Amino acid sequence: MKIKWTPSPNFSSRTGSDIDMIIIHCASLPEGEFGTGYVTDLFLNRLDLRAHPSFGSLKGLKVSAHYLIERGGGVLQYVDTDKKAWHAGVSSYGGEDDCNRFSIGIELEGDVRSEFTKEQYGSLTGLCKLLVEKYPLITKERIVGHSDVAPGRKSDPGAFFDMDLLKEKVFS
């Protein structure tokens, strides 16, 4: 699998935490517009806040994910998986807070109102298989959506994402 390294400064140490979870997200900037490159700009702290009226609320935001999968299936990596990317925000799962400490964040270029592409599912499946092989504590039950770790605050990846299909393909 070809992965384009695009380093983000938005990460910190995972000291003392085992990686045992993958969190699936979706993002587009502006929301519902794809192929703009603005998500990468946000993760690299170079987003021009004047480029769209909705960007004003992002001022000073420092976020990242480990990976982004574009609509055509291209994979970009922003943070080394051994580091803590800043993707889940205030989060909790199974009684553990700060899910960033023990998870890998994968963004799909998209939104909660749109179908994801066949190419995205293909790349996501391949990437998850690689990650499960490298981090064997990641089980089928530990691949979750952002909405699972931040319920009420986040709704991604949304109803159009087929989590069951992903898990079936990754663990078959």
Cite the active site residues: 107
Contact 112, 119 (CB under 8 A): no
Question: Exposed, middle or buried, 45 (CB in 10 Å: 0-12/13-18/19+)?
Answer: middle
- What is the amino acid identity at position 57? S
- What is the amino acid identity at position 116? F
Residue whose pair of structure tokens reads 């889940």 in the numeric block: 88
The angle, 0 to 180 degrees and rounded to 10, between the axes of the packed helices 118-134 and 163-170 is 50
Token pair, residue 149, equals 């770790």
